Amino acid sequence: MRVALLGPPGSGKGTHGKGLSAELRVPLIATGDILRQAIAEGTRLGLAAQADVKSGRLVADETVLGLIETRLGLPDAANGFLLDGFPRTVAQADGLASLLESGGERTLDHVVNLMVSAETVVNRLRERWLCGSCGAIYNLSSKPPKVAGQCDLCGQALKQRADDEPATVRARLEVYERETAPLVAYYAQRGVLRNVDAAGPAEQVYGAIRRILV
Ligand code: AMP
């Protein structure tokens, strides 16, 4: 199954993507994670992307399309994938469509649109902490770690994302409205859009996505 998770930062793409990827047995491909890793490793991709990622701007379409083309070409993506944070512009969606067509595949099977208000997003991201080692996601109000500052799964230290501070989140939301929100109509037109109310508790939202995909 070929699926993309669409929604503003903080709508739950990463949180739900992890569980869905395991259940559907397809790799979770998160362009933000790939870019952050490249930045941490200081690769050429990382150096090119770091200023944009830090300030919440989008990395150039050609750069992101190049990394997606490479990633989708790996054997584990042959029978499906779950995209998180890609596509983020109409140009990226068109690029993805050409890529899939050239591989003899149809378009995406489902685009899950996680709908949540800007206010909820700012509040959620202010309280978001991540494991620096395994990437597990916590929220101080709705999903606190058992021991403060420490990952339940692997015991490593939790950290916040630099771009989760409220001013940068607001910039990312503006970028989302301008560049990414048009994809809602784009995929509705193609008959693959599945809207999900993503404002409620994580388990409830996960259940709603599951009913669509599993
Ligand atoms: P995310 O983890 O999805 O919130 O992405 C973090 C940052 O990485 C974004 O604010 C962008 O700077 C960059 N990024 C991730 N995915 C894309 C994409 N598909 N197109 C352009 N920039 C991206």
Q: Is 35 in the pocket of ligand 1 (CB under 6 A)?
A: yes
Question: How many CB atoms sit inside 10 A of residue 90's CB?
Answer: 15
Q: What is the pLDDT of residue 68?
A: 96
Which 3-state string (H, E, C) describes the chain? CEEEEECCCCCCHHHHHHHHHHHHCCCEEEHHHHHHHHHHHCCHHHHHHHHHHHHCCCCCHHHHHHHHHHHHCCHHHCCCEEEECCCCCHHHHHHHHHHHHHCCCCCCCEEEEEECCHHHHHHHHHCEEEECCCCCEEECCCECCCCCCECCCCCCEEECCHHHCHHHHHHHHHHHHHHHCHHHHHHHHCCCEEEEECCCCHHHHHHHHHHHHC
Q: Is 7 in the pocket of ligand 1 (CB under 6 A)?
A: no
Q: What is the pLDDT of residue 105?
A: 75
Residue 211 designated active-site:
no
CA of 31 to the centre of ligand 1 (A): 6
Q: Which of 2, 36, 124, 172 is catalytic?
A: 172
CA 162/CA 140 separation, integer angstroms = 17
Q: Which of 68, 5, 12, 1 is nearest to 200 (CA)?
A: 12
Strand ranges across the sheet with 81-84 = 28-30, 81-84, 2-6, 110-115, 193-197
CA of 178 to the centre of ligand 1 (A): 14
Query: Which tokens sit at 196?
Result: 């999900």
Q: What is the pLDDT of residue 1?
A: 94
CA of 145 to the centre of ligand 1 (A): 26
Mean pLDDT for each consecutive 10-residue tract of the chain (214 residues)?
Answer: 96 95 96 95 95 95 96 94 98 96 86 96 93 94 95 96 92 96 98 97 96 94
* Minimum-distance ligand 1 atom for the alpha carbon of 172: 10
Q: What is the pLDDT of residue 157?
A: 97
User: Atom 1, ligand 1: which residue's CA is nearest?
Assistant: 32
Residue 128 designated active-site:
yes
CA 210/CA 120 separation, integer angstroms = 22
pTM: 0.93
